[in-house]
Amino acid sequence: MREPHFRQATILGVGLIGASLALALKKHSLSERIVGFGRRLNNLKRAKKRGIIDSFETDPVRAVIGSDLVVLSTPVGLFRELTQKIAPYLKKGSLLIDVGSIKGLVYEIEPLLPEGVDFVGCHPIAGGDRSGIDTSSAELFKGSLLIITKTESTPKGALRRVSSLWRALGSDVKTMSPEEHDRVYALVSHLPHLVAYALVNTISEVDESSIRFAGQGFRDTTRVAGSSPEIWRDIALMNRENLIDFLGVFKSNIERLIDILKDSDATALEKELSRAQALRARLNKR
């Protein structure tokens, strides 16, 4: 399949993912020019100086004028507002994609677009707890999973173009419905983030000073609690129904552990730990 090529691409939100996508598009010669948009002028100036973007705008409308590819890469809570602002100015024949962690928004964004502009929801399973352009990399998406969320309204041609784009960047592309995506990632991503935040807050409430004695196990377990609170606030609230369900299951597991410990039941405790160990081991076989 022929790799997609864009005369101009606009990145709305030049953070870790947005900056890494800009670098990857440049490296693979998939865009001749890249325009950045963001709320922090200093960050945009730094991105231009580092060659991540070719120019920048602090007005999203000005940023998208003439672009063949527009990427929503801000916190997901801003997606709808941004789309409403830019929709009348999007170039006919252009592609709008997002790189957010919530895909129920797809149904809100699709009706906002003018005829001749296609939207495809995307979620690169890449990055980490550190944000910002300082950790951006053109290789971020190489070998990583990329979820495309398809609806009944997603044009087949746009789906092929976007799939080809991510494969050109080295991603392993999979397709899900928005509903399946949000349920799956509530379980394997959003829930672990909230649990990590809650674990650190537990330390804070019991004895904050004990944090200085934490070893690598604590660092590994709570790494994602170093992620942006703004980003994860939006994600958690937008996927709250799934998260409420799964936090209930998590609560039941915690209560079961409490009962086991109260009973000093070594056999039951080992069974619980072994059950978790077996499933965790499957991660290494992917």
pLDDT confidence bin for 2, thresholds 50/70/90: low
Pick from 225, 278, 275: nearest CA to 253: 275
Q: Looking at residue 149, what is its pLDDT?
A: 96
On whether both 132 and 192 belong to a single domain, the answer is no
On whether both 161 and 202 belong to a single domain, the answer is no
* Sign of the alpha-carbon torsion through 189, 243, 38, 55: positive
Instruction: Quote the strand ranges of the chain, DSSP E.
Output: 6-12, 31-37, 55-57, 69-72, 95-98, 118-125, 145-149, 172-176
Any residues with CB less than 8 A from the CB of 154 and at least 6 apart, and which? 118, 119, 120
CB 29 within 8 A of CB 4: no
C-alpha span between 156 and 159 (Å, rounded): 5
On whether both 74 and 24 belong to a single domain, the answer is yes
CATH of the domain at 229: 1.10.3660.10
Q: Is residue 55 part of a domain?
A: yes
pLDDT of 1 over the 60 cut: no
On whether both 113 and 241 belong to a single domain, the answer is no
Any residues with CB less than 8 A from the CB of 273 and at least 6 apart, and which? none
Determine what percent of the chain is predicted with pLDDT higher than 90: 91
On whether both 20 and 54 belong to a single domain, the answer is yes
Tens-place pLDDT, residues 230-260: 989 999 999 999 999 999 999 999 999 999 9
On whether both 155 and 130 belong to a single domain, the answer is yes
Tens-place pLDDT, residues 102-117: 999 899 999 999 999 9
CB 74 within 8 A of CB 82: yes
CB 140 within 8 A of CB 151: no
Residue after which a domain boundary falls, among 143, 176, 209? 176
Q: Which two tokens stand for residue 134?
A: 């300082």
Q: Which parts of 7-155 fold into alpha helices (H)? A: 16-27, 41-49, 60-64, 79-86, 106-109
Residue after which a domain boundary falls, among 110, 145, 176? 176
On whether both 199 and 271 belong to a single domain, the answer is yes
On whether both 55 and 78 belong to a single domain, the answer is yes
Q: Looking at residue 127, what is its pLDDT?
A: 74
Q: Is residue 83 part of a domain?
A: yes
Q: Is the pTM of this model over 0.75?
A: yes
Q: Which two tokens stand for residue 165?
A: 């784009």
Contacts 24+ apart (CB under 8 A), 156-165: 157/118, 158/95, 158/118, 158/119, 158/120, 159/120, 160/1, 161/4, 161/95, 162/4, 162/95, 162/97, 162/120, 162/122, 164/1, 164/2, 164/3, 164/4, 165/3, 165/4, 165/30, 165/69
Q: Concatenated DSSP letters for 43-83?
A: HHHHHHHTTS-SEEESSHHHHHTT-SEEEE-S-GGGHHHHH
Residue after which a domain boundary falls, among 176, 210, 234? 176
pLDDT confidence bin for 129, thresholds 50/70/90: low
On whether both 160 and 188 belong to a single domain, the answer is no
On whether both 126 and 251 belong to a single domain, the answer is no
On whether both 206 and 261 belong to a single domain, the answer is yes
Pick the most confident of 36-40, 134-138, 259-263.
259-263
175 phi/psi in degrees, rounded to 5: -120, 135
Q: Looking at residue 3, what is its pLDDT?
A: 64
Report the chain's mean pLDDT, rounded to a whole number: 94
On whether both 51 and 101 belong to a single domain, the answer is yes
Q: Which two tokens stand for residue 108?
A: 């809100």
Q: Is residue 109 part of a domain?
A: yes
Determine what percent of the chain is predicted with pLDDT higher than 70: 97
Pick from 156, 151, 128, 159: nearest CA to 227: 128
Tens-place pLDDT, residues 188-227: 999 999 999 999 999 999 999 999 999 999 999 999 999 8
Q: Is residue 62 part of a domain?
A: yes
Domain range for 220: 180-285
